[in-house]
Structure 1
């Protein structure tokens, strides 16, 4: 019977991967609000009215892991304090709370929605389906944000939706980046530019929005440019989770070692909140969770060696009409900054749509596993 105890906060890809690697070696406690998890890529089909938000929710019951429903309020290398005051003691803590959405930064208006989650998307679905003419603007408020390719897929699928319905709606996507996903290189930037153009999406780069101007019906940038709209769908600014407020790091990201340990001994941070050169993607988070779990076990004398696991991220981008492309990254020369990503792009093709569904079913199976 394991004697050491390790707490994991958050049931995203990083947290679940960490919990699965730890079980059998230590007592594992997984803390997640309401004991449930959401499949965040389900945001896009929910927004388009293709599926209800509830489809993307799973009740946590992973084998060999104790699930504690609750809101983590404070973490350290030796404990997790819950919002109600209860404390979960542990010999190490792996925190994967993700980045917090600052929806309050987006003005409230009948035609403006902050939507970067399935529940947020559900609030905008009726407005999306009822728009008959004009301009729909997809607005990336700030960098960084989770799932970087997704806004491009949102804009292209919206353009395809309105085209299929015979409506005169023009789709515009604004991003603060000089080039689309420039961190992944010129090939990805060119691909996304070409894809948006072929689907009829107007792409406005280097656009740093003044979100307060959304209330006026014309979105302004800090350099004076403006974009008019009839419906605005905003990827809100991403902030650091309050759970990690006291840790060093730049902006919303927490400074971590190559094994994802923070400045506080025994406290690891993985996933979107970790300050690394990796993309904010599911497989990158899962690889980080596995790496952190093994390092925690090594520190506790429960594992002889700990490896730095290389991620293999794959992101599906919708192009409308049931077609998807897949952007794949591999790190044969190691992780950044020593090694860079090799990128492969497939599609767009209707045959890749099955990959999106397979990824969702795999996600659910990992969280609802009962044996």
Structure 2
């Protein structure tokens, strides 16, 4: 009898954790577990937040994917561009093919600044190591004026990150004595400064206290780098001296190329089982899904555990324990508020977050997590 073939497309947080959990759960089974990743490098993306401030180095944020995987997991470094569901193959332009019986789509998301004319030329962001480094230089060169920081479209990775960056920037400008010469403007696509109402209620007085001007219902339409203006679909025009705009996001191209995703390339995913709708023995986790939860490493972390439980149960024939193998929308993350303080966001489908008062304890907990991530998350210790 042929071994069960499990392919995991993407070696980020969710893909790596799912592979390692499956290797442990199925150690006595005849299975082949393979992670297929485009680069073979695992990047700790939350660290990009700190690069522009010189509080982190790029080399600390990258590891070889192979070093994080269980020895029973195979790794293929290949850019698979299409999922052939009829033949149950991952197919690459190079001609390489990877057959599967079970598939976990963990392809993350991609920045698409080209969706807003002028954005790539006129704005900075920190949603890649290269972009964060460029932003850091722009901030060091900045002499004063108006900084517009906003979100170019929803959804995007790590929803609290723009607010975190804004508050870290405010604190940094105050420490350097430059805050009085800088006008900070924050834009957001909907009618409040964050998607979740309880978080918006928490952050609104913080922004007022820090002297930040908030422009809601601001969906960027065009950027004019020469005139240094950004125009919204709603008709608002903002002048800027420095523009920091989180680019729009879409799902991985492989999802759209395979006819699986919606218009933005997100895979239609069952909110509890994480099965891709209409496809047999195919699951999606992390940013790749169309679920109404944060596109974050935290969500991918909890979802990977669910998918590993479900696939292991199918292969072993053992029934799932009551409540196991179902995702409840759980996400837990920190939100930096500057001045070495932070709060936490802990929520699920039925329970919105109730951010506690910011404290140094939460900030240092986040710093500790950033340092220990490599040793505890991909390997499934937490």
State the TM-score, normalized to the length of structure 2: 0.86
Task: State the distance in 1 between where 2:172 and 2:8 align.
Answer: 40
Write the deviation string for residues 120-151 of structure 1: whole angstroms up to 9, x where unpaired. 21122100122121111112111111111111
Task: State the distance in 2 between where 1:119 and 1:310 align.
Answer: 35
| Partner residue in 2 for 1:65 | 73
Would the alpha carbon gap of residues 81 and 176 (structure 1) be closer, same or farther in structure 2, given more than 3 Å must change?
same
| Partner residue in 2 for 1:355 | 365
Task: Choose which of 141, 157, 161 in structure 2 pairs with 1:150.
Answer: 161
Gaps of 5+ in 2: none
Task: State the distance in 2 between where 1:284 and 1:153 align.
Answer: 18
| Partner residue in 1 for 2:61 | 56
Contact 2:111/2:248 (<8 A) preserved: yes
Secondary structure of the residue that 1:287 maps to in structure 2? helix
Task: State the distance in 2 between where 1:95 and 1:82 align.
Answer: 15
Gaps of 5+ in 1: none
Write the deviation string for residues 197-240 of structure 1: whole angstroms up to 9, x where unpaired. 22232221111111333553011112221221111112111112
Counting matched residue pairs gives 361
Secondary structure of the residue that 2:154 maps to in structure 1? coil
User: 5 Å matches for 1:151-300?
Assistant: 151-167=162-178, 168-182=181-195, 184-185=196-197, 187-245=198-256, 246-249=259-262, 251-257=264-270, 258-262=272-276, 263-300=278-315
Contact 1:94/1:293 (<8 A) preserved: no
Q: Which stretch has the larger CA shift, 28-37 or 250-259?
A: 250-259
Task: State the distance in 2 between where 1:174 and 1:267 align.
Answer: 38
Contact 1:111/1:230 (<8 A) preserved: no
1:87 has 2:97 as partner: yes
User: 5 Å matches for 1:11-26?
Assistant: 11-24=11-24, 25=26, 26=31
Task: State the distance in 1 between where 2:209 and 2:79 align.
Answer: 44
Task: State the distance in 2 between where 1:58 and 1:363 align.
Answer: 11
Contact 1:79/1:90 (<8 A) preserved: yes
Task: State the distance in 1 between where 2:166 and 2:245 align.
Answer: 11
1:129 has 2:125 as partner: no
Would the alpha carbon gap of residues 6 and 165 (structure 1) be closer, same or farther in structure 2, given more than 3 Å must change?
same
| Partner residue in 2 for 1:10 | 10
Task: State the distance in 2 between where 1:242 and 1:363 align.
Answer: 28
Secondary structure of the residue that 2:200 maps to in structure 1? helix
Task: State the distance in 2 between where 1:228 and 1:234 align.
Answer: 13
Note the C-alpha offset of 1:100.
1.5
Task: State the distance in 2 between where 1:189 and 1:367 align.
Answer: 29
Task: Choose which of 107, 110, 113 in structure 2 pairs with 1:100.
Answer: 110
Task: State the distance in 1 between where 2:375 and 2:245 align.
Answer: 31
Q: Which stretch has the larger CA shift, 212-221 or 299-308?
A: 299-308
State the TM-score, normalized to the length of structure 1: 0.88
Note the C-alpha offset of 1:303.
4.2
Contact 2:187/2:193 (<8 A) preserved: no
Contact 2:114/2:120 (<8 A) preserved: no
Secondary structure of the residue that 2:150 maps to in structure 1? strand
